[in-house]
Chains A and B, each alone.
Chain A
Amino acid sequence: MSEKNIYKPIKFHLDKVVEETPAIKTFFLSAEQDFNFKTGQFVEVTIDGVGEAPYTPSSSPYVKDRMELTVMKAGYVTDKMHQLKGGEILGIRGPFGKGYPVEKFYNREIIILGGGVGLAPLRCLIYSLLEEEDKFRKINICFGAKTPADFCYKNWFPELLRRERVHLLRSVDKADSNWNETVGVVTVLLDKLRVDWANLIAIVCGPPIMMKFGTLRLLELGCREENIYLSMEKNMSCGLGKCGHCAMGNYFVCKDGPVFTYDQIKNHPDIWI
């Protein structure tokens, strides 16, 4: 067959594995050939003979020869992922999906609302935004976790704080004795912002319950439906808009998403499930 086989993975080397939290690890991969993806797109990762699962890279799309994936232990394939030590070969198909339309965010103020392992695709997005930082008015980052220990990318935050246009706020559901930032669900961070709600871009990624209440709060504050970008989590198999697993009404989340604006999907009954 001369055409590319859409089902055949290309091989990546797993260089190392870093534990972010007790349930989340970041996998550092390198490719033999440059691999191009847009921020917010995802890849299908195969553990040979075991299974395949979709992840959005957490590294910058400007880095072509390496890729990082941050994975929470949540099911069969992710359990097996967490058993990997480094040195193994993984299969990658993709990139798939539409990702974030960064050019639409130019000259706007941005709010990035993330929770838990939802920080993974958002880190990829933030790296993209920071490549052209002067094109955005301000980048407000609101991150939440259950406890301080449950934050991924602990070493990354000091770097973010040094950025001129970045405003970073963090909250935890349950603080420890060293925590001197906000305590509460991540949406309380929104109340601390002084922003022009009707004209900003909001990007939300996290557990379904956080996505739901985050979106509802953004709407209450005056954010426009078409300016709220949501990363939808769905069961995916092929990633190509063919196998049907990620069907959500008139969309295949893999092909038409995984990033949707709220107004695109608000009428579908199951978006928060």
Chain B
Amino acid sequence: MKPYSIYIDKWSQGLAKLLQKYDIYAPIKHENYLDYELLTPGSVSAVVYNQPKPSTPLKAFFFPVKENVVRETSKRTKVVIGAPSCDLQALKLLDRIFLEGEYLDTYYQKAREETIVIGTDCLDIQEHCHCTTYGIEPYPTENCDISLAIWDQKVMLQPLTAKGEQFINELDAHDLFHGEIDFTDLLQKRESVRQRLKIHNQNLPDNEKTREGVIKAEDAIWKKYAATCVSCGACAAICPTCHCFLLIDRQGFEKIKNWDTCQYPAFEKVAAGEDPLKKLYNRLANRYFCKFVYKPDMFGEIACTGCGRCIEACIGKINKNEIITEICQHL
């Protein structure tokens, strides 16, 4: 598909008009963080583009914190602008879990089908960004309908799906350019970001080495890092691939699908009382086994996309990359 470009003010005007039809979410800067907000005509011009990264992982649009999965709900089509590559890559695993095999999660499927996802290049890096360590590019390559990058006051839109192309045409802007665009500048920027990430994370082991380190790590390491863990589950909540949930019952045989995590006590406790994850350090270790051993074995997909949010969110100051560096140091 050929790319489009449009001046940023015209793009914002087009989005403002489309708010009548869609719920459009995009990153808005707050004092010390960036996060998706439901846009209003007044906030369209405040959207922050091409910056890592919204605090909320993209999964929340398809797998909400709390969802009634028996009573059917009708929702307006959502448009999500500004999904970074780490979150888009995470959808690979979530799609496998919720859509593959005998049991199709129709709520997740509907949300996936009805949401227009506009991925964006990260043209800057944050302290804990490390997507390239796991072979992920810092720009959208798949799992989105449009890839967006801004330079020279222009919004460059590369449609990746028919749904994406249709959305671009709905902007109904007169000066929308459609045709060959010289991407040399963007490609250079991408390369520069990639190099910065590589240098920034040059001592961080890749996913294969991390896997080995996790398998060989002794309990003493998990115990050491679990010392400040308070089982708050923040690392799982903000993780773009964590998918665990609990079905909670409501009258009328309704079920609420509610985020849950192996970091909480009693996550695996059975009725008779046995609990393989009773000890806190076992729960911490389980997180790393799940990300770097179990999920790659089960699905052939990595379950950490290097977003670094778990490091930022941890109130116990547990730094995932410090753990990984330590468990791999003698390999």
A: which residues have CB within 8 A of B? 1, 3-9, 11, 46-53, 74-75, 77-78, 91, 207-208, 233-235, 237-238, 240-251, 255, 270, 273
A270, chain B: closest CB distance, angstroms: 4
Interface class of chain B by DSSP: loop
The residues of A that contact B225 with a CB separation of less than 8 Å are: none
Contact of B249 among A51, A208, A249 (CB under 8 A): A51
Smallest Cβ-Cβ distance to A234: which chain B residue: B270
B249 touches A244 (CB 8 A): no
A245 touches B297 (CB 8 A): no
Residue from A3, A208, A233, A240 having most chain B Cβ neighbours under 10 A: A240
A-B contact pairs, 23 of them (CB 8 A): A1-B72, A3-B104, A5-B69, A5-B70, A6-B105, A7-B107, A46-B255, A47-B249, A50-B249, A78-B271, A208-B274, A235-B267, A235-B269, A237-B245, A238-B247, A242-B245, A243-B245, A244-B243, A244-B245, A244-B262, A250-B293, A251-B298, A255-B101
The residues of A that contact B293 with a CB separation of less than 8 Å are: 250
The residues of A that contact B101 with a CB separation of less than 8 Å are: 241, 255
B266, chain A: closest CB distance, angstroms: 8
B7 within 8 A of A: no
How many pairs of A and B residues are in contact by the CB < 8 Å rule? 114
A250 to B109, CA, bound (A): 25
B287, chain A: closest CB distance, angstroms: 11
Interface class of chain A by DSSP: loop
Smallest Cβ-Cβ distance to B290: which chain A residue: A247
A52 to B270, CA, bound (A): 13
A88 to B107, CA, bound (A): 29
A246 to B270, CA, bound (A): 10
B268 touches A249 (CB 8 A): no
A250 touches B297 (CB 8 A): yes
A234 touches B252 (CB 8 A): no
For residues 264 through 308 of chain B, which have their beta carbon under 8 Å from a beta carbon of chain A?
Answer: 267-272, 274-276, 289-290, 293-294, 297-298
A243 touches B260 (CB 8 A): yes
The size bracket of the interface on B is 35 or more
The residues of B that contact A50 with a CB separation of less than 8 Å are: 249
A243 to B257, CA, bound (A): 9
B119, chain A: closest CB distance, angstroms: 25
The residues of B that contact A4 with a CB separation of less than 8 Å are: 104, 106
The residues of A that contact B262 with a CB separation of less than 8 Å are: 244, 247
The residues of B that contact A246 with a CB separation of less than 8 Å are: 268
- Known contacts A8-B70, A247-B290, A240 near B103 by CB under 8 Å: yes
A31, chain B: closest CB distance, angstroms: 15
B244 touches A243 (CB 8 A): yes
B232 within 8 A of A: no
Smallest Cβ-Cβ distance to B297: which chain A residue: A250
Contact of B98 among A5, A78, A242, A250 (CB under 8 A): A242
- Known contacts A208-B274, A233-B272, A243 near B253 by CB under 8 Å: no
Residue from A9, A47, A247 having most chain B Cβ neighbours under 10 A: A247
- Known contacts A3-B106, A6-B104, A247-B294, A242 near B271 by CB under 8 Å: no
